[in-house]
Amino acid sequence: MSETKIETTVHGMMAEFTTVDSLLSACRRIRDAGYTKTDAYTPFPVHGIDKALGIKPTALPWICLIAGATGTCIALAMQIWMNSIDYKYIISGKPYLSLPAFIPVAFELTILLASFGAFFGMWALNGLPKFSNPMFTDPRFDRATDDRFFLYVDAGDERYDANGVRNLLADTGSDYINEVVEDDSPKEVPKPVFLIWGLSVAASLVPLICILTMRVTNSSKPRFHIFFDMDFSPSKDAQQVTSLFADNRAMRSDVPGTVARGQMEESLDMLTGIDVEALTLSDPPRVQRLVRAYMLADDEAKAEEKEAVDAAEAAPASVMDTTPWVEKNPLNVDAELLAQGQQQFAIYCSVCHGMDGYGNGLVNQRAQSISAPTWVPPASMHQETLYADKYPDGKLFSTISNGIRKMPGYAGQIKLKDRWAIVAYVRALQKSQNASLDLVPESEKAAVEAAVTEAKAELKRQAEEAEKAAAARKQEQP
Amino acid sequence: MSLAIPNGLDNTVERPGERAPLVLGETTYHDITEAVCKVAERPPSKGWIGGFLVAFALLQVLGLLIVYLIYTGVGVWGNRAPIFWGWPIVNFVFWVGIGHAGTLISAILFLFRQEWRTSINRAAEAMTIFAVACAGTFPGIHVGRAWLAFWLAPYPSLNLWMWPQFRSPLLWDVFAVSTYGTVSLLFWYMGMVPDLATFRDRSKNKYRRMAYGLLCLGWSGSSRHWMRYEKAYAILAALAAPLVLSVHTIVSFDFAVSQVPGWHTTIFPPYFVAGAIFSGFAMVLTLMVPARKMLNLEKLITIRHLENMCKIILATGSIVGLAYGTEFFIAWYGQVPAEQFAFLNRAFGPYAWAYWTMVSCNVISPQIFWFKKARTTPWIIVVVSIFVNIGMWFERFVIVISSLSRDYLPSAWAYFTPTWVDWGMLIGSFGLFFTLFLLFCRTLPVINMAEVKATLAKQEHMAHLHGHGEEASEGH
């Protein structure tokens, strides 16, 4: 036994005590004897032992303060950068940098980092985790975490002398004194633990490697969709068939009785082009039908109305003729409205009726050139039957909205006010082809005459230029 | 039912000039070690196995329902317009509230030098962490696309090209609850390290010794370590005390910063914090009263501990009652019609049954603790604490559901009906909670042995000063 003792390194001497008081008095004696490299091991914190052993206070609170202040700074910098500089959110019109809103997160991060400082700082200052400790070689030391108190004198102390320390400790009333020797237990981690640790580390790397591989390689395969219906919504397009509804239509009409935004803002006169007050006297049921069709979005009433109007086209003395139409455009006709009407006319009407309204638009030209058999030529706006006295504004509006002969109704495409603007523009177009200077107010006459003269001169000049150019070309060519 | 007081001493009696003993019987340090370590060392009892199987089965229910939810979509819940914050948020606030008692007992009672906390703080902290785990589940799945919940974190995203919105209380909540969970975990773990070393030193099995050896980081009980450890513990307590108050304050901002009638009130932060402490203590009592009996810890968790907690329940319950009354007063005094309607609707509208359940459980039932007999009778304590748990769940139900179901737009008013998934998840979350708690009882030290031993040392020291206790107390 003595042989093994010589070979192992002696770390120091420990003594066991059974009470706090005996430990404290032993500590004081050891301290008074001049030993400095000493320590006590107790199952719970013993108060007064730092004084008895001469332990200095710790710097931990400072670490904590610095960590906490770092947390505050990080949190404020992060929030200011993210919400006030890099990606500015407008929230209730508040300034981008509104400090009060940033306080909660700053507070939480301060606490978080200060706690990290206290927690990790404490372990670092204590030199833990440290799994090999010469103290643990003595089986009696297991009770240091149960009910025994140990005093330890390190062999590195300059006053250390094995026998002297042993005697001193025996004097303090300790009944168990032993030398602390090098931990001779195998240093390597037992194989099964190592294996499990290695396997779990390897396994934990697998997903990471998979992700990294996928990020750096190209794949021709389509993306994998975990939730297919979230990436590709099963919603239907307007004209598709669905089994959800009895009529198999994906596109739904308004719920009867509902009124869309803006729908009821206009009068029935404006919506239909009919003088409803007059119609009330002559045909009350039709007024009711119009109210249901136009103001309550009742599809059935709409269909009935359309049937009646369609039937009218065939019969000579029809509902179209007996209807009291609105005589005057309900909108305020001014240059702005005419410009709006001109624009809408150019978009929707001119393709058939032509920009000038003579009924020779591009579609008509094409239809004539291929002699389309079912083609009904579009009407010219410049026939007298379509003038305001024979074809009132309301009737023209109704024709645009509901269509006539082969022409479809444009109520779905052209907004209500735009349709009335087109009516106003068509009236202007009609006037433009059949106007005399008498229609112009006296004050404007001179200006118009000047403009006409100028335009005529310009035309003449252009014609002369063209003639000259043609003559020049003739001379060049033999 | 008789008071189970070991060796006949009633430590609920106040003796002037003397501290009531917190550890009963002829207890030595080693007895404390034995009592606590036996809980984990002896083979599991039939009761534990049964309880664990039930809890584990319920946990599976929760897990399967979450899979079902994610696979199908949030439509499986009863959340419908206008009540988009249904049971998931009720459950979140309920659990996060329960999670307040542990850190409160550990931090605030520590700072106030309330030594009776030592026997109950470990289990209460464990309860806190498990409750926060339950709480964290609900907002995580409530976001709808749970697999994108990481979008809550402020990270430089290549998909979004944007940052989180830091003026939103919902984001503050993410930081508050995650900080609270982290700090509670550190606090709990750090407090456990010396006791884990005790477990290590008592282990006969090599691998068990190694596992506890790793967990306790090589703790040796050195006085230098103890000195820094105690400093760190005090700092963590000082940090956790304002933290615990901030967490439920921020949870209440989720409601108070909105403009929903019944939510938009300045009383919410203190009212929520009081409610959280109230519900947390109720849950501690619900767990501890049966546990001290089953785990034979009656000498360490004494009737005095229970009585003290009952007093806190009485105080916080009355604060909560006062808050209910104040809400009505402010609604009347503020003269905002929508606000007035919201509160009348709570008490007399379609959710009146929930409101009055809440009032009876939270305000009326704890009043029995004015009587000492009730404070010291375990079965009464358990019954009342369960009532308080029910009442506090209903408080969150009333706040979330009744306000949302009837807000400014009467055409959208609706009545909330939970689905079977809502029920399953609430019950399943208790499965998660109890699974973790039962595992904790079997594997980790349920009582802070080191602190109880220090209390015992102090108690003995005081007894010495008083000329060996018994004679002195007879002299009074």
Q: How far apart are CA B387 and CA B395, in angstroms?
A: 12
pLDDT > 90 fraction of chain A, expressed in percent and rounded = 15
User: Which residue on chain B is closest to A226 by alpha carbon?
Assistant: B71
Query: Looking at A303-312, B98-107, B452-461, which range is the least confident one?
Result: A303-312
Backbone phi and psi for residue B224, each to the nearest 5 degrees, phi listed first: -65, -40
Q: For residue B213, give the nearest of A196, A13, A145 by alpha carbon.
A: A145
Q: In the structure, what pLDDT confidence band is assigned to residue B351 with cuts at 50, 70 and 90? A: very high
Does pLDDT of B35 surpass 90? no
Say which amino acid occupies B303: I
Cα angle at B325 between B321 and B326, to 5 degrees?
A: 115
Token pair 């209500």 in the structure block, residue: A416
Backbone phi and psi for residue A374, each to the nearest 5 degrees, phi listed first: -95, 5
- Kindly list the domain boundaries of chain A, sorted by start residue: 2-181, 186-216, 268-322, 335-435, 442-478
Please report which helix (H) or strand (E) contains residue A90, including its range.
Answer: none
Indicate whether B15 belongs to any domain.
Answer: no
Token pair 């513990």 in the structure block, residue: B233
Which positions 390-429 of A are in contact with B (Cβ < 8 Å)?
Answer: none
Indicate whether B24 belongs to any domain.
Answer: no
Q: A138-152 as b/e, with b when 16 or more CB fall inside 10 Å?
A: beebbbbbbbbbbbb
Higher pLDDT, A71 or B468: A71
Token pair 């935004």 in the structure block, residue: A261
Q: How far apart are CA B122 and CA B112, in angstroms?
A: 17
Q: In a mutagenesis test of the B interface, which of A145, A150, A195, A230 is the best target, namely the one with the most B β-carbons within 10 Å? A: A145
Q: In the structure, what pLDDT confidence band is assigned to residue A217 with cuts at 50, 70 and 90? A: confident
Q: What pLDDT, on the 0 to 100 scale, is given for residue A70?
A: 95
A334 burial (CB, 10 Å; 0-12 / 13-18 / 19+) is: exposed
Indicate whether B227 belongs to any domain.
Answer: yes
Query: Looking at A36-45, A98-107, A298-307, A443-452, which range is the least confident one?
Result: A298-307
pLDDT tens for each residue of B276-326: 889 988 998 998 888 888 887 887 788 888 888 899 999 999 999 999 999
Indicate whether B1 belongs to any domain.
Answer: no
* Cα A18 from chain centre: 69
Q: For residue B198, give the nearest of B451, B465, B455 by alpha carbon.
A: B451
Find chain A residues with C-beta within 8 A of B29's C-beta: 43, 146-147
- Residues pairing with A249 in the sheet: A241
Q: For residue B245, give the nearest of B310, B186, B187, B180 by alpha carbon.
A: B180
Q: A95-120 as b/e, with b when 16 or more CB fall inside 10 Å?
A: eeeeeebbebbbbbbbbbbbbbbbbe
For A244-271, what is the mean pLDDT? 78
Hey, which of A250-254, A310-314, B340-344 has the most confident mean pLDDT?
B340-344
Does pLDDT of B93 surpass 70? yes
Does pLDDT of B86 surpass 90? no
Q: For residue B398, give the nearest of B62, B99, B93 by alpha carbon.
A: B93
Does pLDDT of B26 surpass 70? no
Indicate whether B30 belongs to any domain.
Answer: no
Q: How far apart are CA B342 and CA B340, in angstroms?
A: 5
For B18, B192, B213, B330, the CA distances from B195, given in Å and listed in that order, are 29, 5, 11, 50
Using a CB–CB cutoff of 8 Å, tell me whether A44 touches chain B.
Answer: yes
Q: Which domain holds residue B93?
A: 46-469
Q: How far apart are CA B266 and CA B286, in angstroms?
A: 31
Residues contacting A182, CB < 8 A, separation 6+: A8, A9, A11, A134, A137
- Residues pairing with A407 in the sheet: A404
Does pLDDT of B6 surpass 90? no
The two tokens of residue A366 are 């094409």
Hey, which of A188-197, A352-361, B199-208, B387-396 has the most confident mean pLDDT?
B387-396
**Interface contact A146-B183, CB threshold 8 A:** no
Q: In the structure, what pLDDT confidence band is assigned to residue B472 with cuts at 50, 70 and 90? A: very low
pLDDT tens for each residue of B190-236: 989 999 998 888 888 888 888 888 888 888 888 888 889 989 999 99
Q: How far apart are CA A451 and CA B316, in angstroms?
A: 92
Higher pLDDT, B355 or A389: B355
Using a CB–CB cutoff of 8 Å, tell me whether A249 touches chain B.
Answer: no
User: Which residue on chain B is closest to A89 by alpha carbon?
Assistant: B165
Q: In a mutagenesis test of the A interface, which of B224, B258, B449 is the best target, namely the one with the most A β-carbons within 10 Å? A: B224
**Interface contact A50-B225, CB threshold 8 A:** no
pLDDT tens for each residue of A143-185: 888 888 888 888 777 777 778 778 877 777 777 888 777 776 6
For A91, A195, A394, B346, the CA distances from A423, given in Å and listed in that order, are 47, 89, 9, 59
- Note whether A159 and A167 are within 8 A (CB): no
- Residue length, chain B? 476
Does pLDDT of A452 surpass 80? yes
Does pLDDT of A5 surpass 60? no
Q: In a mutagenesis test of the B interface, which of A30, A92, A133, A146 is the best target, namely the one with the most B β-carbons within 10 Å? A: A146
Find chain A residues with C-beta within 8 A of B253's C-beta: 104
Q: What pLDDT, on the 0 to 100 scale, is given for residue B208?
A: 84
The two tokens of residue B423 are 């029920």
Q: What pLDDT, on the 0 to 100 scale, is given for residue B189?
A: 92
Indicate whether B82 belongs to any domain.
Answer: yes
Q: In the structure, what pLDDT confidence band is assigned to residue B17 with cuts at 50, 70 and 90? A: low
pLDDT tens for each residue of B230-276: 899 999 999 988 998 898 899 899 899 888 888 888 899 998 889 98
Superfamily of the domain at A335-435: Cytochrome c-like domain (1.10.760.10)
pLDDT tens for each residue of A104-119: 999 999 999 999 999 9
Q: What pLDDT, on the 0 to 100 scale, is given for residue B2?
A: 35
User: Which residue on chain B is closest to A126 by alpha carbon?
Assistant: B225
Q: In the structure, what pLDDT confidence band is assigned to residue B25 with cuts at 50, 70 and 90? A: low
Backbone phi and psi for residue A361, each to the nearest 5 degrees, phi listed first: -75, 180
Please report which helix (H) or strand (E) contains residue A177, including its range.
Answer: strand A176-181
Q: How far apart are CA B101 and CA B107, in angstroms?
A: 10
Which positions 165-184 of A are in contact with B (Cβ < 8 Å)?
Answer: none
Q: In the structure, what pLDDT confidence band is assigned to residue A262 with cuts at 50, 70 and 90? A: low
Token pair 């939510």 in the structure block, residue: B263
Indicate whether B104 belongs to any domain.
Answer: yes
Q: What is the DSSP string of B115-168?
A: GGGGGTHHHHHHHHHHHHHHHHHHHHHHTS-GGGGGGGS----TTT-----TT-
The two tokens of residue B424 are 């399953």
Q: To the nearest 5 percent, what fractions of chain B are helix, strand and coil?
A: 75, 0, 25
Does pLDDT of A324 surpass 70? yes
CA dihedral (B309, B310, B311, B312) in degrees, to 10, reads 50
Q: What pLDDT, on the 0 to 100 scale, is given for residue B471?
A: 42
Q: In the structure, what pLDDT confidence band is assigned to residue A4 with cuts at 50, 70 and 90? A: very low
Q: What pLDDT, on the 0 to 100 scale, is given for residue B383?
A: 93
Does pLDDT of A77 surpass 50? yes
Cα angle at B133 between B127 and B137, to 5 degrees?
A: 145
Backbone phi and psi for residue B68, each to the nearest 5 degrees, phi listed first: -60, -40
Using a CB–CB cutoff of 8 Å, tell me whether B53 touches chain A.
Answer: no
Q: What pLDDT, on the 0 to 100 scale, is given for residue B5?
A: 44
Looking at the structure of chain B, the number of domains it has is 1
Which positions 374-393 of B are in contact with A (Cβ < 8 Å)?
Answer: none
ipTM score assigned to the predicted complex: 0.88
Residues contacting A174, CB < 8 A, separation 6+: A15, A16, A17, A22, A26, A151
